[in-house]
Structure 1
């Protein structure tokens, strides 16, 4: 049976006693779910859904201002997110709550290739999924969800997000090199400072007691250059940057080896080729990495200055800083870490083929790679000329 939100609903804010009156009709559990949920699962699902839909009504539109969506909007979102829930239970291993980013990405991919409805319908479903992700981000401190496809709910076409041009890729590499720096001598103490003195002395071939402030400024840091260069080669997803381990790096063979259990898609072990300069950056970074106290008890390949693993937001901020430094315009462009990934798919397809792009980007479904098979008209004309 369907379960609806009550007529009077307590607000999901820090205020006490505030309430909002609603017209009945916002369905928490639709009848279509009767055949897929046990009694226990229904109780658990109802608990999560009431919290989620209440959050949308009260603060979901703008959590910083405690501004919620209209009951009409939440009514539609309730049905669309319930559809998403049923799909993932049937396609991703059975009942679970709350949804995960991987399940959301799989659903969006299904919309792109297998859902035979209008672009508007796809866009509305994606809006609902994005609101689920927004709730989890704000209420449960989850990472922001990002997708390879974005549908226009007003009827536009689904397209990959913006990608970097060849020139922009080179500009980003150069900007990353300029951001490579090590801590100043006043920022480190004790054993960490002793380690840096040894490191600088080794690099500059100077005795430890002869190292001065100018020497500290001469030594370059390799965290940002290695992170950016690996991502430009491997098209790392934000989740893969977060999970990246020193054990992935095979300097001798110039590759990343991503184990199945660590892959964000979790579909198999992947061996990803790297440019020689990227391997050189990684070698230098791994040596430098040992000088930071924050890496003592972790095998994380990269951490932020605060010792946290990178996430979508921190990577987006880094990319925007690099774009600013490189003079790359970001206005009216959807620039996230996926922008780097899409450039890898675009140019790997153009330079080699879809099979190479599929392997480099670690796609399970060949259909996912097909979006990069968009050869410009000029290139197709050139091909016709060569064909005679």
Structure 2
């Protein structure tokens, strides 16, 4: 699990002995969340992205508490209520989503203390911060989806080795040496081919088709891929919600990109001992942060404006649900997004603004 035990602000706030104590406290919490936290009776833990969020929000809560009362790990339900009131009345305008997420993370903290530390600490929050399920989410438009798909082919691309003169090759070798973190004399023709590879296009296109969550990108293996039938076969044990096996369709275009990537993937040492479908150039699984960076670069290449928008990898998923509902129906979107409950899919059922304008014109 690649989650920092404590954040930098905590390290700066505590003295050495306090930091040792708090780090041990947090390490036990994160371990429990990852392996048992979601359903202790069935040994089902949370995804790494959830554990990371809890870790960050719990650190913020304790830093606030230490400023109020001094160092302690023995937070009480009253402390949690006071912190939520602090978020409500703070001069900083925290979003409803942030307050709801903070509340949820603190409930997981108290749940751990009850299950693992044997403390009789029940917390029933005095405030509710459930975000409006119908609140519009940032998602990609149909035109932006097309631009992102095309931008994936340009992502990180370099000129063909054979098309460059010696001076140009040397310049591009310096760039690739920095990119692949290797000496310039070790840069070869294969590195030029690698820079124009199919990893990013296949990852992006599969996400555009299937609305992959970040944790599903992280868990994806070569065994999911069935290019003969143009589908992904996601086993129950590896699906995000662990509810059932899923068969999700992809386009022929995406299937071709996957075929090319699976062949190319065999050339790289970092994949020799793993069945992971995609890894970063450092050999690590992708996460929300690294995927958000990719989307940001794709938007930059495609010249998609991102000002006043909160675009994460989920923006791709939201677009799949929104437009699949429009092109087919709610049932099709539910299957493609791998939702057990149709109520969950309805949160992605947003009539695009262009459709609403057309409706208004027709209404007169």
CA distance in 2, matches of 1:77, 1:336: 32
1:178 and 2:164 correspond: no
1:15 and 2:15 correspond: yes
TM-aligned CA deviation for residue 133 of structure 1: 8.8
Q: Is the 8 A contact 1:56 1:69 kept in 2?
A: no
CA distance in 1, matches of 2:82, 2:227: 47
Gaps of 5+ in 1: 1-9, 20-50, 62-67, 83-119, 135-151, 197-211
TM-aligned CA deviation for residue 239 of structure 1: 0.5
Q: Which residue matches 1:240? A: 216
1:126 and 2:101 correspond: yes
Distance 1:308 1:218, change over 3 A: closer
SS of aligned partner of 2:347: helix
CA distance in 1, matches of 2:191, 2:57: 58
Distance 1:232 1:122, change over 3 A: closer
Matches within 5 A, 1:13-162: 13-16=13-16, 55-56=59-60, 59=63, 78-79=80-81, 124-129=99-104, 159-162=135-138
Distance 1:350 1:156, change over 3 A: closer
1:377 and 2:334 correspond: no
SS of aligned partner of 1:256: strand
TM-aligned CA deviation for residue 374 of structure 1: 3.3
RMSD: 4.4
Q: Is the 8 A contact 1:57 1:74 kept in 2?
A: no
Q: Is the 8 A contact 1:176 1:228 kept in 2?
A: yes
Q: CA deviation digits over 1:226-258, x for unaligned, max 9?
A: 000000000000010000000000010000000
SS of aligned partner of 2:145: helix
SS of aligned partner of 2:138: coil
Matches within 5 A, 1:270-285: 270-285=246-261
The alignment of Structure 1 onto Structure 2 pairs a total of residues equal to 265
1:307 and 2:283 correspond: yes
Q: CA deviation digits over 1:45-72, x for unaligned, max 9?
A: xxxxxx99984455369xxxxxx7767x
Flag the structure with larger Rg. 1
CA distance in 2, matches of 1:124, 1:256: 36
Q: CA deviation digits over 1:195-214, x for unaligned, max 9?
A: x9xxxxxxxxxxxxxxx849
CA distance in 1, matches of 2:282, 2:191: 25
Distance 1:380 1:306, change over 3 A: same
SS of aligned partner of 1:364: coil
SS of aligned partner of 1:346: helix
Q: Which residue matches 1:266? A: 242
SS of aligned partner of 2:232: strand
Matches within 5 A, 1:181-200: 181=157
Q: Is the 8 A contact 1:255 1:271 kept in 2?
A: yes
1:251 and 2:227 correspond: yes
Q: Is the 8 A contact 1:81 1:128 kept in 2?
A: no
**What is the TM-score of this pair, normalised by structure 2?**
0.61
SS of aligned partner of 2:282: coil
SS of aligned partner of 2:295: helix
Q: Is the 8 A contact 2:292 2:312 kept in 1?
A: yes
TM-aligned CA deviation for residue 130 of structure 1: 5.2
Q: Which residue matches 2:50? A: none
**What is the TM-score of this pair, normalised by structure 1?**
0.57
1:293 and 2:269 correspond: yes
Q: CA deviation digits over 1:136-174, x for unaligned, max 9?
A: xxxxxxxxxxxxxxxx96997752530001111111111
Distance 1:54 1:129, change over 3 A: closer
